[in-house]
């Protein structure tokens, strides 16, 4: 067989550098890592999605889509481990991203407990053989999974893989889920530790922003090691990447998302899937960090991103990144925020901080502010206090138009994160968008909810309902 002439990984057996792993933050609760590795387009992401039973990794016919290590905690037969989807390792040497992607994958594989070497029917390629030899140097248990066994007659080809010299070789079909149960049982047999509890994160943060605004750099700076590939090339991150770490005893999940483009620029399936995963990441987060490039300033795309955040009513803080590159004096930040709010008035609702993700300047304020936002979004307002507060707002006669005819008979809080309130009113038609917006702003101020969205449902006294705002 001819051997691959592209990039060849050189693995270093962990020895004196094993302490580096602890410095670089092990996965949450030291869950054992099971890494899927193999050539590009061999079906790694399809297998990853099949095992976790979600479409978390992007699957497409285009080779080399996965650029970062995508991970997910799997609970199988009450045993929990972290499953990781790594990039295809046979990247062409001409790719400018090859070396950082390969280095990131190498580092992750060295910390794995079990490696799934994925090959495909009908026979191993030259690069498969090279890769298998290199994996032996890691002294990590390896299972060969032979993918695309989509018919029983194809099992005859398994003899082509027996010469690889590995004890565990399992025929599977990631697409049809053939033999996935057997593969999972093999994994459990090889895991060195059995974790049976998967703690919930105290805080889930989604980092969103335009391509190349510094999202992956912020993720890496927060967790303390290179978890996501960082490049000057916009769009390097295509999946949403979850990473867990401890902060003063609190469990935090940080979600690095693909850079969001204007929908008019979403030109192919890859961009579409990245966009939908970013929106999903926003929805499952407690707090959203909207990263804005200090040099570029607010753009129309940033406004669209903010609209997506507001649509799902998530607490948000704006982090002005690359602040170290700005010439400044004691008025620079105030002037910047004034321009920001002038261009997009809703920015005035959010906390705004300046950071340098690259230099780790004020990045802890991101976490502290996010914890504060989640805590305030979780508060409940006693019904008597809420009604007294609304009565005071009504009596102030600052409501735009119709203040003499607007009446709120009763109000109550119905949910938290975000805070949801129901107003029973005399006529829902009176509560137009600008009227509801006035109550939102008033409640945010009175209840100290800056940065926390408020959802108000209007209902008439005879059951006529207005729209949720």
Domain boundaries, the chain: 16-190, 203-377, 383-468
19 pLDDT more than 50? no
Most confident of 21-35, 153-167, 254-268, 374-388: 374-388
Min mean pLDDT across 62-71, 111-120, 309-318 is at: 62-71
- In the numeric block, which tokens belong to residue 97? 């991203």
The average confidence (pLDDT) of the chain is: 78
- In the numeric block, which tokens belong to residue 2? 């001819």
Instruction: Answer yes or no: are the C-beta atoms of 38 and 44 closer than 8 Å.
Output: yes
Identify which has the larger pLDDT, 36 or 11. 36
Min mean pLDDT across 87-101, 170-184, 374-388 is at: 87-101
150 pLDDT more than 90? no
Min mean pLDDT across 120-134, 208-222, 392-406 is at: 392-406
User: For the domain with range 203-377, which CATH number is right: 3.20.20.10, 2.70.70.10, 3.30.70.260, 3.40.50.300?
Assistant: 3.40.50.300
Q: Which of 74, 29, 65 is nearest to 44 (CA)?
A: 65
Instruction: Look at the domain 16-190 and name its fold.
Output: Rossmann fold (3.40.50)
468 pLDDT more than 50? yes
- In the numeric block, which tokens belong to residue 326? 């700005």
7 pLDDT more than 50? no
Per cent of the chain over pLDDT 90 is 32
pLDDT score at 126: 87
Q: Which of 287, 347, 282, 294 is nearest to 321 (CA)?
A: 294
Residue indicated by tokens 């060295």: 110
Rounded average pLDDT over 267-274: 46
**Could you check whether 16-190 and 203-377 share the same CATH topology?**
yes
Most confident of 23-32, 84-93, 178-187: 178-187
Instruction: Answer yes or no: are the C-beta atoms of 169 and 162 closer than 8 Å.
Output: yes
Rounded average pLDDT over 445-451: 91
Measured distance CA(386)–CA(409) in Å, rounded: 12
pLDDT score at 12: 35
pLDDT score at 354: 97
Measured distance CA(208)–CA(290) in Å, rounded: 5
pLDDT score at 442: 92
pLDDT score at 155: 81
Rounded average pLDDT over 274-282: 73
Measured distance CA(187)–CA(82) in Å, rounded: 12
DSSP H stretches of helix in 256-296: 269-283
pLDDT score at 95: 47
pLDDT score at 461: 59
Using pLDDT thresholds of 50, 70 and 90, give the confidence band for residue 24.
very low
Measured distance CA(416)–CA(287) in Å, rounded: 13
pLDDT score at 4: 38
Rounded average pLDDT over 309-325: 93
Measured distance CA(352)–CA(369) in Å, rounded: 10
Instruction: Answer yes or no: are the C-beta atoms of 344 and 298 closer than 8 Å.
Output: yes
pLDDT score at 23: 25
Domain 383-468 homologous superfamily, CATH: K homology (KH) domain (3.30.300.20)
pLDDT score at 168: 84
pLDDT score at 99: 62
Min mean pLDDT across 106-120, 290-304, 402-416 is at: 402-416
pLDDT score at 236: 39
Most confident of 80-89, 193-202, 229-238: 80-89
pTM of the model: 0.61
Rounded average pLDDT over 129-133: 87
Using pLDDT thresholds of 50, 70 and 90, give the confidence band for residue 295.
very high
Residue 333, Cβ neighbours under 10 Å: how many? 17
42 pLDDT more than 60? yes
Measured distance CA(21)–CA(185) in Å, rounded: 27
Using pLDDT thresholds of 50, 70 and 90, give the confidence band for residue 97.
very low
pLDDT score at 363: 94
Q: Which of 13, 309, 316 is nearest to 138 (CA)?
A: 13
């Amino acid at each position: 067989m001819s051997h691959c002439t592209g990039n060849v990984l050189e693995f270093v057996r962990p020895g004196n550098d094993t302490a580096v792993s602890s410095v670089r933050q092990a996965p949450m609760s030291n869950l054992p890592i099971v890494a899927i590795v193999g050539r590009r387009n061999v079906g790694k992401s399809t297998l990853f999605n099949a095992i976790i039973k979600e479409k978390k990794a992007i699957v497409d016919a285009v080779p080399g889509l996965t650029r970062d290590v995508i991970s997910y905690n799997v609970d199988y037969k009450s045993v929990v481990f972290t499953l990781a989807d790594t990039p295809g390792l046979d990247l062409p040497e001409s790719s400018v991203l090859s070396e950082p992607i390969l280095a990131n994958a190498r580092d992750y594989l060295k910390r794995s407990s079990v490696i799934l070497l994925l090959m495909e029917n009908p026979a191993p390629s030259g690069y498969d053989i090279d890769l298998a030899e290199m994996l032996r140097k890691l002294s990590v248990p390896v299972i060969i999974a032979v993918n695309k066994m989509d018919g029983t007659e194809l099992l005859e080809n398994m003899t082509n893989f027996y010469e690889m010299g590995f004890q565990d070789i399992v025929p599977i079909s990631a697409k049809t889920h053939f033999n996935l149960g057997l593969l999972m049982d093999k994994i459990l047999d090889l895991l060195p530790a059995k974790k049976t509890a998967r703690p919930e994160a105290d805080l889930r943060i989604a980092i969103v922003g335009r391509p190349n605004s510094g999202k992956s750099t912020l993720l890496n700076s927060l967790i303390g090691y290179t978890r996501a590939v960082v490049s000057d090339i916009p769009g390097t991150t295509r999946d949403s990447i979850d990473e867990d770490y401890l902060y003063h005893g609190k469990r935090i999940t940080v979600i690095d998302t693909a850079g969001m483009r204007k929908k008019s620029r979403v030109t192919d399936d890859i961009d579409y899937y990245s966009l939908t995963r970013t929106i999903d990441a926003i929805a499952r987060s407690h707090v959203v960090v909207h990263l804005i490039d200090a040099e570029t300033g607010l753009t129309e795309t940033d406004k669209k991103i903010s609209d997506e955040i507001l649509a799902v009513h998530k607490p948000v803080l704006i982090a002005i990144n690359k602040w170290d590159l700005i010439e400044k004096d004691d008025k620079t930040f105030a002037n910047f925020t004034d321009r920001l709010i002038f261009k997009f008035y809703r920015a005035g609702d959010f906390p705004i901080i300046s950071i340098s993700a690259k230099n780790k300047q004020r990045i802890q304020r991101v976490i502290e502010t996010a914890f504060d936002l989640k805590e305030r979004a979780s508060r409940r307002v006693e019904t008597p206090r809420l009604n007294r507060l609304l009565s005071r707002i009504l009596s102030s006669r600052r409501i735009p138009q119709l203040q003499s005819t607007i009446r709120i008979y009763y109000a109550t809080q119905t949910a938290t994160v975000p805070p949801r309130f129901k107003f029973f009113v005399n006529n829902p038609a009176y509560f137009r968008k600008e009227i509801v917006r006035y109550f939102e702003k008033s409640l945010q101020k009175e209840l100290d909810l800056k940065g926390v969205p408020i959802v108000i449902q209007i209902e008439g006294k005879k059951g006529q309902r207005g729209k949720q705002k």
